[in-house]
């Protein structure tokens, strides 16, 4: 590179380019797409969690006014099966048809589709479809699903075991033999419902041999690929558009049945087709998250030094494997369980089980919140056991800053890290030293007050592609970007990432602006349309967009910059080495008057009559980039709670976090990601749980029962950061989309247990609902009661 | 989305509304709609006709009568009740209950009349209506009648209203002497309904002893109820912390408490005693001025 | 059977034939194409569909279109006046109070109604006021900041704090 990129906009709080349309109602979400002649789909879903389908009678539904078609699974087999993109060793994959034909495997499994002239008509007709079910025994609990004699979800497999995934390092048996202290915990990481505020939707039209599909997706390119393959269309004739997408958190990281169904129907009926999820329907038919039960054993010395960690977990996969599901409890979970600590011996066995429940896949953090919960709860148990300050136990076991890059016992190589400063800053923000006084004051009020720490490490940006492949991940770890400078100097950035709230239009413009010496306002970032994309995009998930997609934008911009310099030097008759690209101009270093405007350069590139010898006309660049490694953000979160001694109600009174995601492109956006992530993690700790009865009925089946946190449930957050650049990419950026969720849940859990520890309570499972806490206090003797 | 068809009319007098109710087999009155429409969207209510009271402006009024009775029109929204100065000063428990309904958007449209007619066992306002011994004035084809709060709530979603009767207003008797009231609530985190809500009114004699106390409890049982044993226990005491605690401990006596995902029967029973104590403490403090 | 209603929407009086079953949000989105108002749930919990009906922030999924006969309705599309954004809109942008933007129209409307009644709110009053609007992205932190900032703008007619592209 002839000149270093300056950072005028990288690191600045640039206002979002997305906002003007979103605050005026101009943003176009999938359900906003209405086309002439459109018909509407409603799906008939099984009320039974497990039932053989004897017969489906569609006669009455067909006779309902406005009905266009009523279709069973057999009539929709042309949609093909739903894909699974990850294969782990020993995996028993399930066949997953958009509409099941033989039996319903969870309450919500679709058994028929109705197409009608209006949404109301479709829904009325769906209610008129009668299905003769033969109910079968149901299994909801993953551990029970693996016991002999359990009802089998997929009979052809003879067992509900999806996989056994062992990861070992060091001599764990010896660690436990040598240990002064052993602590044991059974941890339930409960099932959650993602609850992106925008329900899913899909709209398809088929015109002139071309299928256009608008979808609420995080991965339009994967959807395009599967729709083309399944529906027998050439990929160039399938255009998938993810317009505004109203949050995803993993729940839209899928190729869903409804996308294939509306695509197929648009193609066969020749009319545009829309499906929009109702929220209660989504609670059944959109993936859930988490749902692990772990037996955790930690071996340590009396001085707090950890010697070994042994974990046995069963992950509930639900009734079918979804797109990324096999990788969540394995690749994204097991390896990072050792967290921020030097652990010499590690033995983890993860088993996945099919059950008669909604499929489980990625939910914000996707495996890593479960990891942080395992290690951070175990550390606190150890601290309690040896009577040491939990902060001190963490300090003693942290991987030291000079040990990076660090090869973990689980086989990862952490890129960079400096864990202690984040902990110390968080402790200071939280006034950790003053806490015991606050505990005593609360006690005087009859309440229990606790403080909890979580020092997390997480993985972002699965890469490189070869490593992905070795792990069984069936896609590349790259991303793609194209920058096109038009003759007038107008700049478009096309990205394969597909945001749904992450502010890519702003951050990517900041990155490109610095390389091109222009402002973010000069740059338009386009995304979420496979016909406008640079090529194959992977998508937005796993906090990968910046560390992979943002780097592509940077690299493409650097390529364009290089050409700008060459053309500028040629026109100014100066050496490329002396050129400065800044302030919308290219000029000779020290001679700002000897300059060409950015637009002059782009025009010259297209006039092409005065370019350096051998240079191609035009001014654009396309980059595919495969990062050499993951990135590993980290940080410490501290929660403080006060528990009503009489009712068990937990109030989160203080929250402090110091995070390190490497270089921040836009601190305002980083903070926003943290606020939201932290709140979702708090939701898990205090409020959220998908609860099934033994018959597989989802009891927490609507927003009336399942509590998504409100503004009154969370405090204002105190945030700070440290900045440890990654060595994985040239910008030094890591990722922040999931860190808040990963860090917060164990912090709140540790705070609640800390509050109750004077009563001798060692552990409770999440969520810490008032009754659960009250019962624990009662059982323990409730000394704080009046 | 509401898929079940119905006719709609919005008459301008209550008499017309009563007549309209009589004309359909399964007609429902709609006021703020915040109880009924959610049920209709879920298909749990499928009326064939809706009679909307919104054009009957007189039903919105909140006024004090010469004898001190405070009359709250059935169409008064929770928000207008919570913000009404007379109610805030004279009927604090009612203002607090109205302020605790649902969320600000629900309070902006939902009405007290709708809430009482719907009679969700977890609704807030029944608690102060019981504690204040209010009268529910209903108008039907046979004319108007006043129903005592204690006789109004029959069971979950069941009231003393006849099918063709409409709640017109709620009449709160004048609060005399040194009286204080309060409503406290343990809310369902998601639905915001009362898991337990307790309204208490306490009237003190000149010497500070409790002359009279009334405790209305909602959310805990199949229907809102008066905690008679607790009321009896507090009456005649000094209204000190000990007396209040002893009385509150009896607040769930004889009651079969509900059980759901958020609170088991035992826990609800416990919450009733805790919230009865808190309501009595606050009401007594207010009575003491 | 349809019924004719006359309703003023974002300042324009219109007469529309509506079915009694039609919810206000369905009239806005399906009939009038005002898709800025969103539907996020089916149990009146999320507040994404909030609009002003006669000045009151109202969940448009929990009111029938026929009930708005004679009413004045303002949606997110009607907040800006003469091309000038409402202070609440400006504050949401300057405080980064939105991410995916799906819940934003409802929150903007709720804030407009709230600030009309409480021009100088405390943070805890703001949190209480937006309790009927769920947001899954922001953790509400910046929404509280935005409502406070809008209140300040509206009482002092100040400009938003952050100018375009200012370095930290």
Report chain B residues whose CB lies below 8 A from the CB of C110: 104-105
Mapped onto helix, strand or coil, the DSSP state of residue A740 is helix
Which phi and psi angles does C81 have, rounded to 5°?
A: -120, 130
What are the C-alpha distances in Å from A390 to residues A383, A719, B123? 5, 21, 44
Residue C37 has pLDDT above 90, yes or no: yes
- CA–centroid distance for C10 within its chain: 12
Question: In three state form, how does the secondary structure of A329-344 look?
Answer: CCCCCHHHCCCCECCC
CB of A133 closer than 8 Å to CB of A295? no
What are the C-alpha distances in Å from A758 to residues A106, A389, A472, A776, A781? 43, 14, 47, 12, 11
DSSP state of A455: E
CB of A655 closer than 8 Å to CB of A717? yes
> Is B105 an interface residue toward C (CB < 8 Å)?
yes
CATH of C87-156, one of 3.30.460.80, 3.90.1150.10, 3.40.50.300, 1.10.150.120: 1.10.150.120
Architecture of domain A19-26+478-625: 2-Layer Sandwich (3.30)
What are the C-alpha distances in Å from A175 to residues A180, A299, A344, A388, A418? 10, 6, 8, 20, 26
- CA–centroid distance for A635 within its chain: 18
Chain C nearest-CA distance from A783, in A, is: 32
- Select from B172, B189, B205 the last residue of a domain: B172
Sheet with B166-172, strands from edge to edge, namely: B62-64, B70-73, B166-172, B135-140, B143-148
Residue C161 has pLDDT above 60, yes or no: no
Mean pLDDT, chain B, rounded, equals 96
Domain ranges (residues) in chain A: 19-26+478-625, 33-136+197-247+252-285, 364-457+629-780
> Is B190 an interface residue toward A (CB < 8 Å)?
yes
> Is C132 an interface residue toward B (CB < 8 Å)?
yes
Number of residues assigned to chain A: 786
- Model confidence over A277-297: pLDDT tens digits? 999 999 999 999 999 999 999
Nearest CA in chain B to A646: B274
Tokens representing A179 are 């240990």
pLDDT of the residue at A95: 92
How do strand B7-9 and strand B49-52 relate by DSSP bridges? parallel
- Model confidence over A676-701: pLDDT tens digits? 999 999 999 999 999 999 999 999 99
> Is A120 an interface residue toward C (CB < 8 Å)?
yes
Tokens representing A36 are 């002439």
Chain A nearest-CA distance from B108, in A, is: 18
Chain C nearest-CA distance from B9, in A, is: 9
Q: Given B186, B191, B245, which is nearest A647 (Cβ)?
A: B186
Q: Which of A33, A279, B202, B111 is nearest to C61 (CA)?
A: A279
What does the DSSP assignment read for A163-216?
EEEEEEES-HHHHHHH-SEEEEEEEEEEEE----SSPPEEEEEEETTEEEEEE-
> Domain total for chain B?
3
Nearest CA in chain C to A718: C141
Radius of gyration for the alpha carbons in chain A, expressed in angstroms and rounded: 27
Distance CA A76, CA A624 (A): 37
**Would you place residue C156 in the very low, low, confident or very high pLDDT band (cuts 50, 70, 90)?**
confident
> Is B280 an interface residue toward A (CB < 8 Å)?
no
> Is A716 an interface residue toward C (CB < 8 Å)?
yes
Q: Of the ranges A535-539, A582-586, B127-131, which one carries the lowest mean pLDDT score?
A: A535-539
What are the C-alpha distances in Å from C33 to residues A193, A484, A586, A602, C72? 31, 34, 47, 40, 17
Radius of gyration for the alpha carbons in chain C, expressed in angstroms and rounded: 16
- Model confidence over B141-194: pLDDT tens digits? 999 999 999 999 999 999 999 999 999 999 999 998 899 999 999 999 999 999
Instruction: Mark yes or no for CB contact B261/A700 under 8 Å.
Output: yes
ipTM: 0.97
What are the C-alpha distances in Å from B243 to residues A458, B8, B200, B239? 55, 54, 15, 6
What are the C-alpha distances in Å from A102 to residues A51, A52, A61? 9, 6, 21
Report chain C residues whose CB lies below 8 A from the CB of B38: 43-44, 62
CB of A713 closer than 8 Å to CB of A682? yes
- Model confidence over A660-678: pLDDT tens digits? 999 999 999 999 999 999 9
Report chain C residues whose CB lies below 8 A from the CB of A680: 136, 139
CATH of domain C3-77: 3.10.20.30
Q: Given B8, B37, B79, which is nearest C3 (Cβ)?
A: B8
Strand partners, A654: A640
Distance CA A238, CA B21 (A): 55
Say if B1 falls within a structural domain: no
Tally of CB atoms within 10 A around B269: 20
Buried b (16+ CB within 10 A) or exposed e, A666-703: bebbbbbbbbbbbbbbbbbbbbbbbebeeebbbebbbb
Tally of CB atoms within 10 A around A417: 24
Q: Provide mean pLDDT across the span B12-26.
A: 93
Chain C nearest-CA distance from A151, in A, is: 34
Tally of CB atoms within 10 A around A533: 23
Mapped onto helix, strand or coil, the DSSP state of residue A503 is coil
Residue A470 has pLDDT above 90, yes or no: no
Residues 6+ apart with CB under 8 A from C163: none
Nearest CA in chain A to B274: A646
CA dihedral B74, B75, B81, B85 (to 10 degrees): -90
**Would you place residue C165 in the very low, low, confident or very high pLDDT band (cuts 50, 70, 90)?**
very low
Residue B48 has pLDDT above 50, yes or no: yes
Strand partners, C143: none
* Ranges assigned E (strand) in A301-330: 306-318
Residue B208 has pLDDT above 60, yes or no: yes
**Within this chain, do residues B38 and B65 fall inside the same structural domain, yes or no?**
no
Q: Output the furthest CA–CA distance in chain B (Å, rounded).
A: 62
Instruction: Mark yes or no for CB contact B102/C43 under 8 Å.
Output: no
Instruction: Mark yes or no for CB contact B109/C56 under 8 Å.
Output: yes
Report chain A residues whose CB lies below 8 A from the CB of B248: none
Q: Which of A424, A455, A423 is nearest to A338 (CA)?
A: A455
Sheet with C56-59, strands from edge to edge, namely: C12-18, C3-9, C72-74, C50-53, C56-59
Chain B nearest-CA distance from C25, in A, is: 10
Q: Given C56, C64, C132, which is nearest B103 (Cβ)?
A: C132
Residue A786 has pLDDT above 70, yes or no: no
pLDDT of the residue at C162: 46
Q: Which of A603, A585, A605, A582 is nearest to A594 (CA)?
A: A585
Q: Where in the sequence is the domain holding B150, given as residue range(s)?
A: 59-172
CATH of domain A33-136+197-247+252-285: 3.90.1170.50
Number of residues assigned to chain C: 168
What are the C-alpha distances in Å from A624 to residues A236, A480, A559, B45? 19, 5, 12, 56
Chain B nearest-CA distance from A282, in A, is: 15
Instruction: Mark yes or no for CB contact C167/A714 under 8 Å.
Output: no
What are the C-alpha distances in Å from B65 to residues A40, A661, B75, B133, C77? 56, 66, 18, 17, 45
Nearest CA in chain C to B44: C43
Instruction: Mark yes or no for CB contact B1/A119 under 8 Å.
Output: yes
**Within this chain, do residues B116 and B82 fall inside the same structural domain, yes or no?**
yes
Distance CA A66, CA A54 (A): 27
CATH of A364-457+629-780, one of 1.10.10.10, 3.30.365.10, 1.20.120.350, 3.30.160.100: 3.30.365.10
What are the C-alpha distances in Å from A671 to residues A237, A661, A724, A745, C99? 40, 11, 17, 18, 11
Number of A to B CB contacts under 8 A, please give it.
42
Q: Which of B107, B106, B113 is nearest to B166 (CA)?
A: B113
Residue A79 has pLDDT above 70, yes or no: yes
Greater confidence (A68 vs A461) lies with A68
Tokens representing B66 are 């010469």
**Within this chain, do residues B65 and B160 fall inside the same structural domain, yes or no?**
yes
Instruction: Mark yes or no for CB contact B1/A699 under 8 Å.
Output: no
Instruction: Mark yes or no for CB contact C44/B34 under 8 Å.
Output: yes
Question: What percentage of chain A reaches a pLDDT higher than 70?
Answer: 99
DSSP state of A644: -
Distance CA A676, CA B231 (A): 47
Distance CA A159, CA A148 (A): 9
**Within this chain, do residues B80 and B119 fall inside the same structural domain, yes or no?**
yes
Mean pLDDT, chain A, rounded, equals 96
pLDDT of the residue at A6: 65
Q: Of the ranges A51-55, A379-383, A467-471, B228-232, which one carries the lowest mean pLDDT score?
A: A467-471
Identify from C39, C62, C132 which residue to disrupt to test chain B contact, counting B C-beta atoms within 10 A and taking the largest count.
Answer: C62
Burial of residue B77 (CB within 10 Å: 0-12, 13-18, 19+) is buried
- Select from B105, B137, B172 the last residue of a domain: B172
- CA–centroid distance for A203 within its chain: 24
Distance CA B115, CA B72 (A): 13
Report chain A residues whose CB lies below 8 A from the CB of B3: 120, 123-124, 127
> Is B44 an interface residue toward A (CB < 8 Å)?
no
> Is A62 an interface residue toward C (CB < 8 Å)?
no
């Amino acid at each position: 590179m002839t000149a270093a990129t300056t950072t005028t906009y990288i690191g600045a709080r640039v206002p979002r380019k997305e906002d003007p349309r979103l605050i005026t109602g101009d943003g176009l979400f999938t359900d906003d797409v209405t086309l002439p002649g459109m018909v509407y789909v409603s799906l008939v879903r099984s009320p039974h969690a497990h039932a053989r389908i004897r017969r489906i009678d569609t006669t009455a539904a067909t006779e309902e006014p406005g009905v266009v078609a009523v279709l069973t699974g057999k009539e929709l087999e042309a949609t093909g099966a739903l894909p699974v993109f990850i294969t782990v060793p020993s995996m028993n994959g399930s066949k997953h048809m958009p509409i099941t034909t033989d039996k319903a495997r969870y309450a919500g499994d679709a058994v028929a589709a109705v197409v009608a002239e209006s949404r109301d008509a479709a829904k009325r007709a769906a209610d008129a479809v009668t299905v003769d079910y033969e109910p079968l025994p149901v299994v909801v609990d993953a551990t029970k699903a693996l016991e002999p004699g359990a009802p089998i979800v997929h009979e052809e497999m003879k067992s509900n075991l999806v996989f056994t995934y062992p990861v070992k390092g060091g001599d764990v048996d010896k660690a436990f033999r040598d240990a002064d202290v052993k602590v044991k915990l059974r941890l339930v990481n409960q099932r959650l419902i993602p609850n992106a505020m925008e329900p899913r939707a899909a709209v398809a039209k088929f015109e002139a041999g071309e299928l256009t599909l608008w979808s609420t997706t995080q991965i339009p390119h994967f959807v395009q690929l599967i729709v083309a393959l399944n529906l027998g269309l050439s990929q160039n004739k399938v255009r998938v558009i993810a317009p505004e997408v109203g949050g995803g958190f993993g729940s839209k990281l899928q190729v869903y049945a409804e996308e294939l169904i509306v695509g197929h129907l648009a193609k066969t009926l020749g009319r545009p087709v829309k499906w929009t999820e109702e929220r209660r329907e989504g609670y059944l038919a959109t993936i859930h998250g988490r749902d692990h039960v772990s037996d955790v054993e930690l071996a340590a010395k009396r001085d707090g030094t950890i010697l070994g960690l042994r974990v046995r977990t069963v992950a509930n996969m639900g009734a079918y494997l979804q797109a990324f599901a096999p990788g969540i409890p394995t690749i994204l979970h097991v390896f990072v369980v050792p967290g921020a600590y030097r652990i010499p011996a590690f033995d983890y066995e993860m088993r996945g089980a099919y059950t008669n429940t909604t499929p489980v896949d990625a939910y914000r953090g996707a495996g890593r919140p479960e990891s942080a919960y395992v290690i951070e709860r175990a550390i606190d148990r150890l601290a309690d056991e040896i009577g040491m300050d939990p902060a001190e136990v963490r300090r003693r076991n942290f991987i030291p800053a000079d040990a990076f890059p660090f090869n973990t016992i689980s086989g990862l190589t952490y890129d960079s890290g400096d864990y202690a400063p984040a902990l110390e800053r968080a402790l200071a923000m939280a006034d950790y030293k003053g806490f015991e006084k606050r505990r005593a004051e609360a006690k005087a009020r009859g309440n229990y007050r606790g403080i909890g720490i979580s020092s997390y490490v997480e993985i972002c940006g699965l890469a490189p592609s070869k490593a992905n492949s070795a792990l069984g991940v069936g896609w590349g770890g790259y991303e793609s970007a194209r920058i096109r400078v038009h003759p007038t100097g107008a700049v478009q950035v096309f990205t394969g990432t597909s945001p749904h709230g992450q502010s890519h239009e702003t951050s990517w413009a900041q990155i490109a602006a610095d390389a091109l010496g222009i402002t973010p306002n000069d740059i338009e970032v386009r995304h979420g349309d496979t016909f406008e994309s640079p090529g194959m995009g992977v998508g937005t998930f796993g906090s990968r967009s910046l560390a992979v997609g943002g780097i592509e934008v940077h690299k493409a911009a650097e390529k364009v910059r290089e050409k700008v310099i060459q053309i500028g030097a040629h026109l100014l008759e100066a050496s490329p080495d002396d050129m400065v690209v800044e302030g919308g101009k290219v000029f000779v270093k020290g001679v700002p008057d000897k300059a060409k405007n950015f637009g002059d350069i782009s025009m010259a590139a297209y006039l092409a009559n005065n370019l350096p010898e051998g240079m191609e006309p035009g001014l654009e660049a396309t980059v595919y980039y495969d990062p050499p490694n993951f990135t590993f953000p980290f940080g410490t979160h501290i929660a403080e709670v006060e528990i009503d001694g009489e009712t068990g109600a937990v109030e989160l009174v203080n929250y402090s976090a110091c995070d390190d995601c490497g270089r921040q492109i836009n601190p305002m956006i980083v903070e926003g990601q943290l606020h939201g992530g932290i709140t979702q993690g708090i939701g898990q700790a205090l409020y959220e749980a998908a609860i099934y009865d033994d018959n597989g009925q989802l009891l927490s089946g609507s927003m009336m029962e399942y509590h998504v946190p409100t503004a009154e449930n969370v405090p204002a957050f105190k945030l700070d950061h440290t900045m440890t650049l990654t060595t994985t990419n040239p910008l030094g950026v890591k990722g922040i989309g999931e860190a808040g969720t990963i860090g917060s849940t164990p912090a709140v859990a540790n705070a609640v247990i800390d509050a109750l520890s004077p009563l001798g309570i060692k552990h409770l499972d999440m969520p810490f609902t008032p009754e659960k806490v009250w019962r624990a206090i009662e059982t323990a003797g409730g000394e704080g009661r009046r | 989305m509401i898929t079940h068809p119905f006719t709609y009319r919005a008459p301008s007098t209550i008499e017309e509304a009563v007549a309209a109710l009589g004309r359909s087999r399964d007609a429902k009155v709609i006021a703020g709609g915040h109880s009924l429409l959610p049920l209709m969207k879920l298909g749990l209510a499928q009326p064939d006709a809706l009679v909307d009271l919104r054009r009957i402006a007189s039903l919105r009024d909140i006024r004090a009568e010469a004898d001190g009775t405070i009359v709250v029109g059935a169409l008064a929204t929770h928000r207008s009740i919570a913000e009404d100065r007379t109610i805030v000063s004279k009927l604090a428990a009612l203002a607090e209950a109205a302020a605790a309904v649902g969320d600000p958007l629900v309070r902006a449209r939902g009405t007290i009349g709708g809430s009482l007619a719907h009679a969700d066992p977890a609704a807030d306002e029944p608690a102060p209506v019981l504690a204040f011994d209010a009268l529910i004035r209903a108008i039907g084809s046979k004319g108007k009648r006043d129903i005592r709060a204690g006789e109004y709530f029959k069971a979950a979603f069941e009231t003393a209203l006849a099918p063709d009767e409409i709640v017109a207003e709620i009449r709160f008797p004048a609060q005399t002497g040194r009286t204080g009231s309060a409503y406290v609530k343990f809310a369902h985190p998601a639905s915001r309904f009362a898991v337990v809500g307790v309204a208490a009114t306490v009237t003190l004699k000149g010497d500070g002893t409790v002359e009279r106390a009334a405790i209305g409890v909602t959310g805990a049982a199949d229907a809102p109820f008066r905690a008679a044993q607790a009321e009896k226990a507090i009456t005649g005491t000094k209204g000190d912390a000990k007396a209040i605690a002893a009385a509150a401990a009896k607040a769930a006596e004889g009651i079969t408490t509900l059980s759901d995902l958020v609170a088991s029967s035992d826990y609800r029973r416990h919450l009733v005693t805790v919230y009865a104590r808190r309501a009595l403490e606050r009401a007594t403090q207010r009575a003491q001025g | 059977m349809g019924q004719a209603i006359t309703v003023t929407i974002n300042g324009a009086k219109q007469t529309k034939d509506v079915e009694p079953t039609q919810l206000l949000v369905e009239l806005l989105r399906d009939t009038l194409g005002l898709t800025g108002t969103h539907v996020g749930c089916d149990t009146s919990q999320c507040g994404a569909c909030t609009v002003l009906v006669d000045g009151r922030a109202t969940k448009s999924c929990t009111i029938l279109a026929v009930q708005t006969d004679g009413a004045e309705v303002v949606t997110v599309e009607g907040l800006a006046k003469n091309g000038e954004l409402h202070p609440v809109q400006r504050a949401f942008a300057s405080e980064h109070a939105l991410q995916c933007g799906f819940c934003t129209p409802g929150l903007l409307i709720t804030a407009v109604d709230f600030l009309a009644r409480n021009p100088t709110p405390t943070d805890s009053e703001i949190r209480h006021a937006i309790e009927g609007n769920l947001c899954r992205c922001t953790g509400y932190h910046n929404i509280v900041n935005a409502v406070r900032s809008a209140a300040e703008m509206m009482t002092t007619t100040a400009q938003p704090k952050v100018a375009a592209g200012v370095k930290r």
